[in-house]
Amino acid sequence: MTASVVAVIPARGGSKGVPGKNVARVGGVPLVAREIEPALAAGVADVRVSTDDDAIAAAAVAAGARVVQRPEDLAGDTASSESALLHALDAIEAEGVRPDVLVFLQATSPFIEPEPLRRAVARVAAGEADSVFSAFETYAFLWRRGRDGATGVNHDASFRPRRQDREPHFQETGAFYVMDVAGFRRAGFRFFGRVGIEEVDADRALEIDSPDELRLARLLAPALDARPAAIPAGALVTDFDGVHTDDAAVVGDDGRESVRVSRSDGMGVERLRRAGVPVLILSKERNAVVAARGAKLQVPVLQGVEDKAAALGAWLAERGVDPAECAYVGNDVNDLTAMALVGWPVAVADAHPDVLGAARVVLTRRGGHGAVREAAELVLAAQEEER
């Protein structure tokens, strides 16, 4: 008989270290959604998010999970993850679902890969282990502080063997734990019976518990995330300076500015228009060159916009486009609010570091050097996949 598997992600709304942490975006995706995606990809069809927070619940549902309403007495700072898991299991079983295997995922781990998780589930389902957790191999020398000075924990300080002569240890990542449900209910804790280790890559073992770790995760995401081959967006909105241009301008004696643009960008926009994809140029600056470029491309332009998110939201609402289905291409910090609004925040290759960290997709082209064409091709590729 095939084992029934359910995944539960406890994600309360009252994070103190990083307010709003569980919906904070890494690689353009809310943290809670970054746990749901690998679970689904690993073959876990039933993914639940236990939460007391409406924003987390909405993000969970959008990512393909179901929500378990977490009671207030299990959502405080002192409530254990185990208590939330047991409550979720009770709620799931009240629906008539009797899972054999429980996957416990933590929303603080943004770089979970599906394959190690799939292997861990298979080991518990097959009865090879009762509890399996993610960890990475380490040869680190560990020390303990004491009143009389530091002492070695896993080594003799008087002897320094070579790495190849040392026994490896395994550091728990906190990313996932897979458990036999009956054994977990008996033990009331995540480690019981035959405990197994599922090795994961150390470079993906980051846990987010502080603002600095959140910033680090955002910087790592462009390198660790697989770049999508297509962007399923119903509209494409772009900044102008630094996206359609290389962010440079030539100023004449009369004060008029001229900029350099890419002809290939024009072809990309034309192809989007022919495909029926709305395109908008949204610029903080007010300049005749922006209007002229918009007229040339035959797309609307909004200039002199201080609140880009508000202007973008209004434009999308007028056209009946869900922000989650919009792509926004930016390059600098004044694009961050608009990028946070949409489902597909995109950065040009030479964007500001904060913009690169907020992007779900980082283009290979720089602003003014075919970045808009590249974004257009990704949107068009998604349309081709749907046919």
The pLDDT value recorded for residue 205 is: 94
Q: Is residue 184 part of a domain?
A: yes
In a domain, 230, yes or no: no
Cα–Cα distance measured from residue 203 to residue 110, given in angstroms and rounded to the nearest whole number: 11
The answer to whether residue 13 is domain-embedded is yes
Q: Which residue segment(s) compose the domain that 353 sits in?
A: 235-386
Q: What is the pTM of this model?
A: 0.82
CATH number at residue 100: 3.90.550.10
> Could you tell me if 32 and 56 are in contact, meaning their C-beta atoms sit under 8 angstroms apart?
yes
Quick check: is 154 in a domain? yes
Last residue of a domain, one of 195, 224, 253: 224
Which residues does the chain have with pLDDT short of 50? 1
Together in a domain, 256 and 183: no
Same domain, 90 and 180: yes
Q: What pLDDT was estimated at residue 285?
A: 85
175 and 118 in a common domain? yes
156 and 273 assigned to the same domain: no
What pLDDT score does 2 carry? Answer: 64
- Cα 73 to its chain centre, rounded Å, is 29
Give the dihedral sign, CA 351/354/356/360: negative
Return the axis-axis angle of helices 263-274 and 288-297, rounded to nearest 10°: 50
Q: In this structure, which long-range contacts are made by residues 40-46, counting pairs with CB atoms below 8 Å and at least 24 apart in sequence?
A: 40/64, 41/114, 42/114, 42/115, 42/117, 42/118, 42/121, 43/5, 43/118, 43/121, 44/5, 44/6, 44/7, 44/103, 44/117, 44/121, 45/5, 46/5, 46/6, 46/7, 46/92, 46/97, 46/99
β-pair type (250-251, 169-180): unpaired
User: What integer pLDDT is reported at residue 368 of this predicted model?
Assistant: 95
Cα–Cα distance for residue pair 284/279, rounded to 1 Å: 17
**Which DSSP letter does residue 110 get?**
T
Q: Quote the CA–CA distance of 375 and 387 in Å, as a whole number.
A: 19
Give CA–CA dist 274/252, Å, rounded: 36
Q: What is the CATH number of the domain that holds 358?
A: 3.40.50.1000
DSSP state, residue 261: B
Query: Residues, the chain, total?
Result: 387
Per DSSP, 335 falls in state G
For residue 317, being part of any structural domain is answered with yes
